[in-house]
Amino acid sequence: MPTYVVTTQTLENYGAHDGSGKFADGKAYWKVKGGNDIIVKGLDRYQDAWAFVAAIAPSTIVWKEIPISVQEYWEWEAALSEKWEDDDAYDFFLQQAQKRTVNPNDPNSYESLVW
């Protein structure tokens, strides 16, 4: 069974900090922020990994985390190793990314996930 990495994009609604944040009220002011790489195990299809992350990601009037791409873990890791020339930085980043590993069959893996 493959392991997938779903990359997300974070959006923050500045209009919700001092107003309703609603489009209908003219108070929506969304800004693109960072994102995360979520490692997904336990699913056979990349579409299911993508949909699973969409289902567990935060989505409020203030903050949204939206999946924007998915790839197999080996592809993601290969690109990561090319990006980080420093082995210590690569190892640190990889260890941090492993903390965002989820499995739909193990609710404990995602119920306490810190976005």
Q: Are 43 and 49 in contact (CB under 8 A)?
A: yes
Domain coordinates of the chain in residue numbers? 4-103
Within 10 Å of residue 73's Cβ, how many Cβ atoms?
Answer: 16
What rounded mean pLDDT belongs to the chain? 95
Mean pLDDT of 90-115: 93
Query: What's 12's DSSP letter?
Result: E
Question: Which range among 21-30, 59-68, 78-87 shows the weakest confidence by mean pLDDT?
Answer: 78-87
Instruction: Find out whether 80 and 94 touch, Cβ atoms under 8 Å.
Output: yes
Is the pLDDT score of 96 beyond 80?
Answer: yes
Write down the pTM of the prediction: 0.91
For residues 28-38, average pLDDT: 97
